[in-house]
């Protein structure tokens, strides 16, 4: 008889500890999932430990309760290996999250320990044949097939005539082998030779290889050839018998880079959110069995069960997508550093505009700083800032374009070169109101103004996803006339079509890209010069290499600057720099930033592609206001459907925090309101903690969790190192 420690699937702090169950059998291991009775239900759990016991009665007496039995063992093999189970425990400590929620985050959706996903995908098999005995007498035809099989060592059974195969099997000349099938169809991509590295690139590669177990920050202007460094570093790692894990901000936006990897290497798994559960399951198991050298994926790929990792490459390391802004609130780089210790591997962070945290760590010598200062081909584009308040720039025929911008577009189209236009706001118009009484249509859930989406005649909330039909009459005065306020990408597209009727225009934003395969298809069409203008949100700014783009226009550079976030300037600078960087990859390029804030430092430095200038300026501001990288932050969010209860609890917690941190170097700011005050019908309040040492907050936050374990009606979320603070 065995006593098995099982972690139950509820992602709740209340039961974040293992429970004991009995099992009589040998087919159980640490790391497999089991079905157990819990609270009159059958739930899925994870086996954390197993020990042999002599009698169940004894054990029940010892524990003072009846020990129930495991109903069923669900997996033949563990689905999390030892490293990942250790990693989960480490993450639990750092992010104050229930262990089970970390397991759920680590696993592909179809393997998550959830009762609802019990029917995990079945393994698919393929049948191969191989030579068993060469001395069997065969007819000429049989001999022919036999030799083909012998040549290819092992060959798919269904490639040959079923009759001959049957005879060969019967005679004992060949045998059948069953093998797991990889359901993902991989295109056969023509392999390409590598480029000869420029001196700068070579220098960078040499430095990393001198000490491949450290953390490097590769700061390289747009178009300086960071990808080629990743490729050749990967090759060296594989030659050394090591594996490489590569993170990109978003798979569909990185298809060009992924393609370059596929042109050089064969043993790659790409963890894509659009894989079917069966495909994901196969890829996951292939990686787990050690049959894959290179894994490429977005944030959650940091949990890929890759062994023997030599290097973790994080491209566009400043990207906000690496931080999950929902429980367990992890950052991929934090996880990467934990895996680095286990594997003694290196980490390479790449960006044209590194996050201030990474750049200052490199400055202090915690990371090694490597730089690529020059574009491989072409030059950095010239950039012009156009003030939208300047009356000379007002174009009577256009609300969106200044005279300068419109003229530049026309000239570029005349030269048969391509244009990119950024408007970082989706939908048709960001607000919709009644023309007669001024009633503003707001989200029923969070009260923010609804965005009009004209193509589908819907009003949508961009914060919580709420939608309703575009109205016919005003609910407060019954008027049927409405006002459309401001611009989104959908409306910009309409205007661009009107102004440049003969140009072919493509639009890319998350409304368009929600259809499977659309993003890649649009980016491909534009790369193949099947369109003249690509218009869209930040999705068009990231990493693409379009040779014929000579003009980049930002319609309203100020979007984002006014967000109440300490990162507002950094994000704007980064987005603008990336967008400007799309122009002039092979010819001279021009970029135009339209703005109401022409003297803002984020715009000024972006227009010169001057990262160092921006960094120095922004660091002064961060220091003055005491924000990262000068301190660490954690946000505590209290949330409840009952506003009174929330207010009451908030006061209690405020007193608790103030008392707990009295003699520590921790600043407590709050309670304060969220920018989005109500989310999914829950009222929210927040506290911001600023501190220099994690040790100063750790015990207090553990106590805080204890308080909420017995608290009904109010939840507390802990977000360590938040990306945003509003
Ligand atoms: P980044 O990622 O730094 O913005 P890319 O990796 O997109 O830059 O490189 C810009 C362009 O230069 C790409 O078209 C790439 O193929 C090319 N390139 C990079 N390195 C070399 C090299 N050593 N020799 C020739 N072409 C190169
Ligand atoms: Zn009205
Ligand atoms: Zn909403």
Residue corresponding to tokens 């300047």: 390
Write out 63-91 in H/E/C secondary structure.
HCCCCCECCEECCCCCCCCHHHHHHHHHH
Q: Which H or E element spans position 506?
A: strand 505-508
Distance CA 429, CA 165 (A): 66
Instruction: Tell me what pLDDT residue 119 has.
Output: 57
Residue 202 beta carbon below 6 angstroms from any ligand 1 atom: no
Please indicate, yes or no, if residue 710 is contained in any of the structural domains: yes
Which residue's alpha carbon is nearest to atom 7 within ligand 1?
223
Residue 289 neighbours by CB under 8 Å, 6+ apart: none
DSSP 621-649: HHHHHT-TTSSEEEEEEEEES-HHHHHHH
**Of 374, 480, 491, whose CA–CA distance to 423 is shortest?**
491
Instruction: Tell me what pLDDT residue 90 has.
Output: 96
* Ligand sitting nearest the alpha carbon of 438: 2
Give residue 226 CA to ligand 1 midpoint distance, Å: 7
* Ligand sitting nearest the alpha carbon of 544: 1
Please indicate, yes or no, if residue 463 is contained in any of the structural domains: no
What residues flank ion ligand 2 with Cβ within 5 A? 434, 436-437, 439, 474, 476-477, 479
Is 140 found in the same domain as 82? no
Is 229 found in the same domain as 89? no
Distance CA 49, CA 572 (A): 49
Give residue 222 CA to ligand 1 midpoint distance, Å: 9
What is the phi/psi pair of residue 664, to 5°?
-120, 160
Please indicate, yes or no, if residue 480 is contained in any of the structural domains: no
Is 283 found in the same domain as 152? no
Best residue among 195, 376, 577, 581 to mutate for probing ligand 1, ranked by most atoms within 8 Å of CB: 376
Is 234 found in the same domain as 135? no
Is 131 found in the same domain as 113? no
Residue 375 beta carbon below 6 angstroms from any ligand 1 atom: no
**Of 410, 446, 372, 415, whose CA–CA distance to 639 is shortest?**
446
Question: For residues 511-528, b (16+ Cβ closer than 10 Å) or e, as one string?
Answer: bbbeeeeebbbbbeebbe
Domain boundary among 180, 215, 249: 180
pLDDT averaged over consecutive 10-residue blocks of the chain (726 residues)?
87 74 90 86 88 80 83 84 93 92 83 55 76 83 86 79 86 83 75 90 97 96 92 97 96 88 92 80 86 94 95 96 93 98 97 96 96 84 93 87 95 96 90 90 85 91 87 92 90 94 94 82 93 94 86 93 89 95 84 95 94 96 95 95 94 95 90 83 92 94 90 92 84
Question: In a 10 Å sphere around its CB, with 0-12 CB exposed, 13-18 middle and 19+ buried, how is residue 214 labelled?
Answer: middle
* Ligand sitting nearest the alpha carbon of 199: 1
Assess contact for 676 and 463: CB atoms under 8 A. Answer: yes
pTM summary value: 0.89
Q: In sequence order, which ranges of 152-220 are alpha helices (DSSP H)? A: 162-171, 199-210
Please indicate, yes or no, if residue 454 is contained in any of the structural domains: no
* Ligand sitting nearest the alpha carbon of 434: 2
Q: Which H or E element spans position 263?
A: helix 255-264
Residue 263 beta carbon below 6 angstroms from any ligand 1 atom: no
Start-to-end CA distance of the chain, whole Å, equals: 54
What secondary structure letter does DSSP report for 531? -
**Of 371, 368, 365, 322, whose CA–CA distance to 346 is shortest?**
368
CATH number, domain at 700? 3.30.70.600
Residue 222 beta carbon below 6 angstroms from any ligand 1 atom: yes
Instruction: Tell me what pLDDT residue 116 has.
Output: 47
Residue corresponding to tokens 């927040």: 686
Write out 30-45 in H/E/C secondary structure.
CCCEEEEEECCEEEEE
Please indicate, yes or no, if residue 242 is contained in any of the structural domains: yes
What would the two tokens of residue 300 be?
A: 């959650």
Is 233 found in the same domain as 321? yes
Q: Which domain, by its residues, includes 130?
A: 125-180
What residues flank ion ligand 3 with Cβ within 5 A? 443, 445-446, 461, 463-464, 466
Distance CA 121, CA 279 (A): 9
CATH number, domain at 80? 3.40.1440.60
Please indicate, yes or no, if residue 31 is contained in any of the structural domains: yes
Domain boundary among 574, 598, 622: 622
Assess contact for 204 and 370: CB atoms under 8 A. Answer: yes
Which residue's alpha carbon is nearest to atom 15 within ligand 1?
225
Peptide bond into 328 cis (omega under 30): yes
Best residue among 228, 257, 543, 547 to mutate for probing ligand 1, ranked by most atoms within 8 Å of CB: 228
Residue 226 beta carbon below 6 angstroms from any ligand 1 atom: yes
Peptide bond into 671 cis (omega under 30): yes
What is the phi/psi pair of residue 679, to 5°?
-125, 130
Relative to the CA of 221, which ligand 1 atom is closest? 3
Is 301 found in the same domain as 217? yes
Relative to the CA of 377, which ligand 1 atom is closest? 12
Is 289 found in the same domain as 209? yes
Distance CA 315, CA 656 (A): 41
Distance CA 126, CA 117 (A): 25
Give residue 473 CA to ligand 2 midpoint distance, Å: 8
Residue 198 beta carbon below 6 angstroms from any ligand 1 atom: yes
Relative to the CA of 198, which ligand 1 atom is closest? 23
Question: In a 10 Å sphere around its CB, with 0-12 CB exposed, 13-18 middle and 19+ buried, how is residue 130 labelled?
Answer: middle
Is 203 found in the same domain as 219? yes
CATH number, domain at 527? 3.40.50.300
Given CA atoms 692, 697, 699, 702 in this order, what sign does their dihedral have? negative
Q: How far is CA 29 from the centre of its chain?
A: 32
Instruction: Tell me what pLDDT residue 122 has.
Output: 67
Please indicate, yes or no, if residue 422 is contained in any of the structural domains: yes
Residue 545 beta carbon below 6 angstroms from any ligand 1 atom: yes
Residue 480 beta carbon below 6 angstroms from any ligand 1 atom: no
Is 84 found in the same domain as 106? yes
Please indicate, yes or no, if residue 102 is contained in any of the structural domains: yes
Domain boundary among 72, 104, 119: 119
Is 680 found in the same domain as 552? no
Domain count, the chain: 5
Is 648 found in the same domain as 611? no
Distance CA 295, CA 307 (A): 11
Relative to the CA of 543, which ligand 1 atom is closest? 4
């Amino acid at each position: 008889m065995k006593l098995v420690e099982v972690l139950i699937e509820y992602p709740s702090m209340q039961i974040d500890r293992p429970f004991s169950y009995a099992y009589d059998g040998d087919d159980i291991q640490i790391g497999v999932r089991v079905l157990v009775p819990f609270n009159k239900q059958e739930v899925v759990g994870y086996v954390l430990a197993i020990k042999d016991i002599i009698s169940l009665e004894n054990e029940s007496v010892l524990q003072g309760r009846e020990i129930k039995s495991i109903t069923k063992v669900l997996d033949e093999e563990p689905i999390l290996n030892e490293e990942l189970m250790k990693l989960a425990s480490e993450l639990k400590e750092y992010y104050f999250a229930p262990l089970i929620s970390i397991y759920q985050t680590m696993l592909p959706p179809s393997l998550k320990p959830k009762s609802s996903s019990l029917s995990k995908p079945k393994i698919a098999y393929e049948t191969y044949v191989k030579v068993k005995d060469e001395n069997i007498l065969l007819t000429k035809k049989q001999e022919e097939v036999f030799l083909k099989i012998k040549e290819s060592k092992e060959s798919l059974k269904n490639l040959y005539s079923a009759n001959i195969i049957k005879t060969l099997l019967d005679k004992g000349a060949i045998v059948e082998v069953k093998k797991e099938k990889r359901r993902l169809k991989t295109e056969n991509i023509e392999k390409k030779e590598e480029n000869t590295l420029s001196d700068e690139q070579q220098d960078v590669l040499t430095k990393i290889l001198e000490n491949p177990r450290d953390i490097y920050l590769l700061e390289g202007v747009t178009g300086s050839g960071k990808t080629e460094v990743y490729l050749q570093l990967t090759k060296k790692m594989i030659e050394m018998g090591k594996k490489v894990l590569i993170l990109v901000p978003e798979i569909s936006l990185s298809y060009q880079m992924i393609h370059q990897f596929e042109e050089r290497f064969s043993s790659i798994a790409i963890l894509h959110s659009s894989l079917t559960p069966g495909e994901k399951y196969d890829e996951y198991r292939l990686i787990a069995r050690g049959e894959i050298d290179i894994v490429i994926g977005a944030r959650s790929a940091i949990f890929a069960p890759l062994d023997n990792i030599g290097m973790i490459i994080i491209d566009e390391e400043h990207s906000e997508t690496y931080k999950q802004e929902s429980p367990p609130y992890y950052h991929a780089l934090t996880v990467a550093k934990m895996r680095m210790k286990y594997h003694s591997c290196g980490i390479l962070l790449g960006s044209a505009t590194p996050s201030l945290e990474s750049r200052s760590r490199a400055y202090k010598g915690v990371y090694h700083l490597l730089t690529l200062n020059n574009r491989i081909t072409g030059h950095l584009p010239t950039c012009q800032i156009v003030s939208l308040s300047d009356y000379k720039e007002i174009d009577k025929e256009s609300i969106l374009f200044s005279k300068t911008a419109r003229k530049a577009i026309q000239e570029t189209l005349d030269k048969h070169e391509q244009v990119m236009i950024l408007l970082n706001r989706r939908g048709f118009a960001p607000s919709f109101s009644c023309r007669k009484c001024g009633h503003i249509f707001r989200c029923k859930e969070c009260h923010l103004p609804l965005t009009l989406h004209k193509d589908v005649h819907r009003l949508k909330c961009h914060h919580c996803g709420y939608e309703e039909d575009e109205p016919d009459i005003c609910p407060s005065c019954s008027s049927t006339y409405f006002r459309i306020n401001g611009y989104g990408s959908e409306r910009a597209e309409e205007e661009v079509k009107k102004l440049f009727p003969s140009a072919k225009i493509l639009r890319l934003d998350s409304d368009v890209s929600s259809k499977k395969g659309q993003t890649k298809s649009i980016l491909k069409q534009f790369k193949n010069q099947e369109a003249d203008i690509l218009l869209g949100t930040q999705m068009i700014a990231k990493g693409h290499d379009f040779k014929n783009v000579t003009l980049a226009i930002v319609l309203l550079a100020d979007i984002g600057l006014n967000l109440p976030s300490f990162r507002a300037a950094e994000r704007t600078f980064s987005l603008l720099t990336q967008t400007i960087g799309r122009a002039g990859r092979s010819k001279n390029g021009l970029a135009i930033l339209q703005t109401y804030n022409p003297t803002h430092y984020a715009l000024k430095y972006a227009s010169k592609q001057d990262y160092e200038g921006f960094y120095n300026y922004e660091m002064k501001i961060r220091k003055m206001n005491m924000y990262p990288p000068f301190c660490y932050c954690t946000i505590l969010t209290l949330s409840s459907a009952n506003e009174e209860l929330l207010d009451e609890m908030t006061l209690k917690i405020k007193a608790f925090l103030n008392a707990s941190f009295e003699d520590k170097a921790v600043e407590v700011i709050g309670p304060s309101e969220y920018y989005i005050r109500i989310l999914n019908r829950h009222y929210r309040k927040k506290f911001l903690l600023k501190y220099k040492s994690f040790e100063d907050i750790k015990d207090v936050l553990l106590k805080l969790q204890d308080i909420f374990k017995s608290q009904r009606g109010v939840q507390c979320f802990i977000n360590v190192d938040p990306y945003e603070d509003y």
